[in-house]
Amino acid sequence: MPGIVIVGTQWGDEGKGKVTDLLAERADVVVRFQGGNNAGHTIVRDGDQFKLHLIPSGILYAGKKCVIGNGVVINPRVLIGEIEDLRRRRIDVGGLRISANAHLVMPYHVLLDEESERKLGKLEIGTTRRGIGPCYADKAARLGVRVQDLLDAKILRKKVMTALLPKQQALRPFARDPSLDLHAITEDCLRYGHRIEPYIADTARLCWEALDSGRTVIFEGAQATMLDLDHGTYPFVTSSNPVAGAACVGAGVGPTDINEVWGVAKAYSTRVGAGPFPTELDDDIGTYLQERGGEIGTTTGRRRRCGWLDLVALRYAARLNRLSALAITKLDVLAGLDPIRVAVRYRSREGAVLDEFPYHQTILHGATAEYEDLPGFDADIGACRSEAELPREARDYLDLIRDRTGAEIRLVGVGPRRDQVIWTGRRAEPRLRAA
């Protein structure tokens, strides 16, 4: 006790890194359980900015165990780059542990991702082109290469050869590309294996030992609920399960190891890549949110699509993840907008009222959002440290979210800095203090 899962409730980029960073201070272990370097967390610490794609945000606390769980797909080149960068900046990475069972993103996965997007043309998903989908596909097809394989040259070669054959056929025009060269791939992998060997561990056991001795373990999700392979806006989703339930599979713990589920939602909505986005704003307000919120992707540098908060989707995410706490981030970005609009229901192409998030793709694609308008606020709220200090309009906005989602808001972000947060709710301090 306790196990705490942190997940995104929208389309990603909600600020999970900041929330994890805050909760991690009092935790003993932080575990990533899915996704790969398609994710990107930006953490600002003492004026320094850190961009992490694979290593859990907790690494900035010396000695904290930071686990890359079995459910993550790891590009070893990127991982080594991150380790080196942190070391250069004098961050102690001694607490890093990498699951021996995690799958590896290989060069041919990246090539396949790029090619599959190119072939889709206008129908592209808008992936991050980091090879994530093809890697998870190989995992399911039992053609994956895992971290533990890096330590055995014979097995590694055999596995890469088996996985490579179908790719060489599918990617014939790239026959000479080093991404398809067995020798080059295995040599690189062996070098990577040598570098990361000290960090490879039985990470599920590490989590059990921490949980069984009463220490706090945080399971840090990447991407978000609406990008979930099963529950998101398929096929415009990622290839893993970012919902809370997946923390068990991706880290190797049981459902009763989880005591709290924190959902993170931005005070408005953003999405990168293609796919339905009912509250999207193609106007000046969308641009205002994009610019004020600095809505540029950490991983790909793409401009994020912006829109109003979507309570239909948020309610769906709250139930799907069975949230016990909600963190609202970037409330400050809404300052200066009047009215503030909130989507409370959808209307289908045929005119039907949709109070619940539609499970059918065709209905969702034709749905338009219907709004309630709330008065806006002008004040800079960046210095507020309690809910009572917020302008009344901002408090009303939070109350509406509470009211319509049934979730308990425990944290509100009022600026990019670590200290620019308000702890709210019945227990104004996180329960973690006891940890």
Note the residues at the interface with ligand IMP (CB under 6 A).
Answer: 12-13, 38-40, 125-128, 130, 132-133, 222-223, 227, 236, 238-239, 272-273
Return the C-alpha torsion angle 280, 286, 291, 296, nearest 10: 20
- Name the residue nearer to ligand IMP (CB basis): 53 or 341: 53
- Name the residue nearer to ligand IMP (CB basis): 3 or 242: 242
CB of 370 to ligand IMP, least distance (A): 25
Q: Which residues contact 388 (CB under 8 A, 6 or more apart)?
A: none
CB of 34 to ligand IMP, least distance (A): 10
Active-site choice (13, 138, 257, 332): 13
CB of 131 to ligand IMP, least distance (A): 8
Mark whether 13 is an active-site residue: yes
CB of 352 to ligand IMP, least distance (A): 28
Token pair in block for residue 138:
């190989």
> Is residue 432 exposed (0-12), middle (13-18) or buried (19+ Cβ within 10 Å)?
middle
- Name the residue nearer to ligand IMP (CB basis): 124 or 396: 124
Mark whether 41 is an active-site residue: yes
For residues 66 and 56, is the Cβ–Cβ distance under 8 A? yes
CB of 12 to ligand IMP, least distance (A): 3
Active-site choice (21, 28, 41, 228): 41
For residues 220 and 32, is the Cβ–Cβ distance under 8 A? yes
- Name the residue nearer to ligand IMP (CB basis): 276 or 382: 276
Token pair in block for residue 375:
């008065």
Q: Which residue is nearest to ligand IMP (CB)?
A: 273
- Name the residue nearer to ligand IMP (CB basis): 81 or 376: 81
- Name the residue nearer to ligand IMP (CB basis): 16 or 65: 16
Question: Parallel, antiparallel, or unpaired: how do β-strands 340-347 and 353-354 relate?
Answer: antiparallel
CB of 7 to ligand IMP, least distance (A): 12
Active site residues: 13, 41
